[in-house]
Amino acid sequence: MSDSNKDRWQSDLTLIADAAKEAGAVAFGFFNQSPEVWWKNGDRSPVSAADFAANKTLETILRKARPDYGWLSEETDDDADRLARETVFIIDPIDGTRAFLGGQKVWCVSVAVVHRGRPVAGVLYAPALEEFYQAVEGGVATKNGMPLAVSAARPEETSRLAVGEDLLKTFPPEFRERVSRQKHIPSLAYRIAMVADGRLEGTFVKGNSHDWDLAAADLILACAGGGLVDLDGRPVVYNSAGVTHKVLCAAPVLRIDEFLTAFAGRRDS
């Protein structure tokens, strides 16, 4: 990475960090206040006044500051113009809306800068937990200013995995015996951040996740010594025409092959 790009991404990180904090404060103002709710995706997914307000805050700040960047947000109608841009903002104003509406604290603002398909700056802000994660390409991931590192647990030790009970039952018995299944974590971005800070050894992400769920957390995990990959071990590519993804695995780099092999060895594979 050239020095000019390094400075550019660091400047972008400062920008998105400040924007995420402002959007987080806006969203937090609606927390436990019963905001108005609508339903989308065939009435399967809630979206609230808090999502829209946080999205507006982010869009106002970021698009003004970087008018040449593309834009992809869960709460903005998609514009194919982003496909012609080398660099885009990828946004989820509230990742974990159901948790937010239920008064649970595990939700976050997710903001990433993606360049040529990969994240180069990313932040996650969880206001109710008072946690702020950030990373820039080539740098060290931090949580509230302190460096992050993935778990150093070895394969023979117990692995704390965020994985559905039904899925885990299909894994080889010798693998299941070494797994401590963690309870459901309602924000996907936050779940990946838990792998980055070592509270989880890994997680499997069901198919149909979206760019905005993943991009910022992907970079934070990478800068902490982990990886987010598909079942062939390939990194996620962002800002394509399609923004959904098949099954993914997040884990420390040294454990990815182990987890992918276990997945391939399922009884129903």
How many CB atoms lie under 10 A from the CB of residue 123?
Answer: 28
Beta bridge partners of 251: 227
Q: Is 91 left (phi over 0), alpha (psi -120 to 50) or beta?
A: beta
CA distances in angstroms from 266 to 74, 180, 208, 246, 262, listed in the order given: 33, 17, 20, 17, 7
90 a known binding residue? no
The rounded distance, in Å, linking the Cα atoms of 125 and 117 is 23
Helices and strands (H, E) in the chain, number of each type: 8, 16
Locate all alpha helices (DSSP H) within the chain, ordered by sequence.
3-28, 49-65, 97-101, 165-168, 173-176, 188-196, 211-223, 256-264
How many CB atoms lie under 10 A from the CB of residue 40?
Answer: 11
185 a known binding residue? no
213 a known binding residue? yes
Backbone angles phi, psi at 108, to 5 degrees: -155, 160
| Beta carbons of 125 and 105 less than 8 angstroms apart | no
Query: Closest Cα to residue 208, out of 45, 20, 37?
Result: 45
Contacts of 240 (CB under 8 A, 6+ apart): 83, 117
Q: Which residues are annotated as a binding site?
A: 74, 92, 94-95, 213
Binding residues for Mg(2+): 74, 92, 94-95, 213
